[in-house]
Structure 1
Amino acid sequence: MRKLIPISLWLSCSLGALRGQSVDSLRLTLSIPAEAVFVTSDNLSNTYLISRNNAILKFDTLGRQSGLFTNKRLGNATFLDAANPLKVLVWYPDFQTLVWLDRTFSEMGRLEFSKLGLYSVSAVAMSFDGNIWAFDDAESVAFKFSLEGKKLFESPPLSQYFSRRFSASRIRDGGQFVGLNDHSGGFCRLDQYGSIAEINSSLKLQDFEMEGNWMAYQDGELLKLRNLTYLKEFQFLLPGSIKKEGNPAWLGKSCIYVQNGKEIEQYVWK
């Protein structure tokens, strides 16, 4: 397998619309006056972001703010998972606490991993079946928990499959498979029960996205979509603003967000 070029790119891309077609164009459709440290979207094309002052904001498809959530007691939020827009995950690693919000952006509940005996969770995600994935860095194990904190499944210690310690920085649940990556190098794919489906020690990504048996990643100036079963691949050129040094980018559903100055630009593909 070819070695992929690392990138500071956060992905949460819906890939189903791209199956069976080649994508080579992007179109600027929206600009949101905001500065973010993380951006994602849901399957209804709403935009979610963590602002630089640690507020969680939601914007509708026209760029109008439709939700605001803040919590000053849990430290800085670093990750959002809006795979289920009725249960948006907000991750506060400083306090090892995962909060989920309802559609009105009110807190529905939270999971404090320290109460489960975990003190080194480095990555979380909403599972396809509505539960929670969490990677414990101390044990190098991925756990699947219910929202009430009951342990459902766990992977074997993943470091034993690599020549170096595996420390997951991101988890993505695509429904068919669950991907975990170590941005220093290494990628692991699990099934929904935590069993190993793939180990790739040479893959080095800052982030990725999975849906079904598709995986999205950046290779140079292209975004590539790869079918993990049939080895099909689609690609499109990234917008020029992504290529500017220091401009972070995040993928959303059929779109890509770029921080360009004090605005977040949304590009969509056909």
Structure 2
Amino acid sequence: MKNWFTILLLIILGKSVLAQGDSAFQLVKTYPFEVADAMLDNLDNLYIITPQDQLKKYNINGDSVAAFNGVKRFGKLHSVDVSNPMKLLLFYKDFSRIVMLDRLLTVRGTIDLKQNNIMQASAVGASYDNKIWIFDSYEYKLKKLDEQGSLLQETSDFRILFDQSIVPQQILDRDGLLYLYDTTSGLFVFDYYGTFKRKLPLSNWNSIVIAGKNVLGISNNGINNYSTATLMESRYMFPQNFLRYYRYSLSQNKLIALSKNSVSIFSYRH
């Protein structure tokens, strides 16, 4: 009798956990087409990269508003920063080049990093004042550039600042602070002058997002939420029906999930 009670209790608890996972994600919209990658800006505009290497933009109503056909013109695309809808940053890591697009996906400028004495960059991010942050992984320095690629400021060599190797894959400029994320070493927080503030012990996350006092990221089939106020971490597991998705990314309050032939957008709580 006790064994049956234990089994019943586990079933009830299992359903409860699953229900909590389901209720954490609410479907907003599904686009029925195949894509290679997708991201949302803070105005909920959707950007997709097609298998034909075209970058397309859709507004919040799902209307196609712009397209950029030159994705592969500068080599293999490494990342797209859409944090500033007025200026997208396309980063071509292997070719040390940044391409800037306006809100209609028209090229507004390019930066050849090697011509500006940056031989090897690992990450690029938009700054709050319309400039560009970049991590020079050859000199191990965080640098700030203008749209012409001229150096505005830089930090000291990170090999002097830290006793561990740091090569960030993501740079985020949010609410007066700068976040550099290295999937192995964690999240490093700086002020706008490049002064180190603290390190957050977060590793092996993807698609890092800063939302107020929360740091969110995708890891092990769920969303992790780390509160910088309480130093506590919570987690929302993806429900079973998410098994059809093969890639995820986050915006401030949305989850983008890619399947073989669709893009689905979910709201989520944090």
SS in 2 for 1:226: strand
User: Paired residue for 1:66?
Assistant: 65
Cα-to-partner distance string for 1:116-156 (whole Å, 9 max, x where unaligned): 10020111010122110101111121111122223222222
Is the contact made by 2:99 and 2:111 (CA closer than 8 Å) also made in structure 1?
yes
What residue in structure 1 maps to residue 265 of structure 2? 266
User: What is the CA–CA distance in structure 2 between the aligned matches of 1:217 and 1:188, rounded to whole Å?
Assistant: 15
Alignment-mate amino acid for residue 55 of structure 1 = Q
Task: Tell me which structure has the larger Cα radius of gyration.
Answer: 2
Residue aligned with 2:225, SS? strand
Residue 114 of structure 2 is matched in structure 1 by: 114
Query: Are the equivalent residues in 1 in contact too, given 2:207–2:249 (CA < 8 A)?
Result: no
SS at match of 1:208: strand
Equivalent residue for 2:10? none
Contact (CA 8 Å) 1:127, 1:175: kept in 2 or not? no
Say whether residues 1:43 and 2:37 are aligned partners. no
Matches of 2:49 and 2:188 in 1, distance apart?
27
1:123 aligns with 2:143: no
Shift of 1:70: 2.3
Q: Are the aligned partners of 2:46 and 2:57 in contact in 1 as well (CA < 8 Å)?
A: yes
Which consecutive unaligned segments of at least 5 residues does structure 2 have? Answer: 1-21
Question: How far apart in 1 are the matches of 2:59 and 2:213?
Answer: 29
What's the counterpart of residue 205 of structure 2?
A: 205
Change (3 A) 1:94 1:54: farther
Q: How does 1:62-141 map to 2 (within 5 A)?
A: 62-71=61-70, 72-141=72-141
Question: How many Å separate the matches in 1 of 2:233 and 2:27?
Answer: 24
Tell me, yes or no, if structure 1 residue 251 matches structure 2 residue 269. Answer: no
Structure 1 stretch displaced more, 157-166 or 58-67:
157-166
Give ranges in structure 1 of 5+ residues lacking alignment.
1-22
Match of 2:73, SS state, is coil
Distance 1:64 1:239, change over 3 A: farther
Cα displacement (A) at 1:181: 1.8
Alpha-carbon deviation of 1:225?
A: 3.2
Letter in 2 for 1:249: Y
> Quick check: which one's helix share is greater?
2
Aligned equivalents of 1:180 and 1:90: distance in 2? Answer: 18
- Aligned partner of 1:70: which letter? N
CA distance in 1, matches of 2:242, 2:141: 34
Deviation at 1:97, TM superposition (A): 1.3
Displacement of 1:36 in angstroms is 3.5
Distance (whole Å) between structure 2 residues aligned to residue 73 and residue 221 of structure 1: 34
Alignment partner of 2:185: what SS?
A: coil
Count matched residues: 247
Separation in 2, partners of 1:39, 1:196: 32
Tell me if 1:215 matches 2:215.
yes
Matched residue type, 2:136: D
Contact 1:54 1:76 in 2 (8 A): no
The superposition leaves residues 48-104 of structure 1 with CA deviations (integer Å, 9 ceiling, x where unpaired) of 122333221111223332221122430121211111111111112232111111122
Query: What is the CA–CA distance in structure 1 between the aligned matches of 2:241 and 2:141, rounded to whole Å?
Result: 38
- What CA distance in whole angstroms lies between the structure 2 residues aligned with 1:129 and 1:241? 41
Determine the C-alpha separation between the residues in 2 that align with 1:136 and 1:94.
13
In structure 2, what residue type is equivalent to 1:138?
A: Y
3-state secondary structure, aligned to 2:94: helix
Q: How does 1:2-13 map to 2 (within 5 A)?
A: none
Residue in structure 1 matched with residue 53 of structure 2 by the alignment: 54
Measured at CA, do residues 89 and 73 of structure 1 come closer, stay the same or move farther in structure 2, by a change above 3 Å? same
Higher RCO structure (Cα 8 Å, ≥6 apart): 1
Q: Percent sequence identity over matched residues?
A: 23
State the 1:224 CA deviation. Answer: 3.3
Q: Distance in 2 between matches of 1:234 and 1:78?
A: 30
Q: Is the 8 A contact 1:24 1:237 kept in 2?
A: no
C-alpha change, 1:202 and 1:112, in structure 2 (3 Å) is: same
Deviation of 1:221 (Å): 4.7
Task: Give the Cα–Cα distance (whole angstroms) in 1 for the partners of residues 152 and 214 of structure 2.
Answer: 25
Residue 227 of structure 1: aligned partner: 227
Residue type of the alignment partner of 2:50: S
Q: Deviations over 1:172-231 (max 9, x none)?
A: 111322111222333311111211111356634334112454311235454233332444
Note closer, same or farther for the CA distance 1:38–1:57 as it changes in structure 2 (3 Å cut).
Answer: same
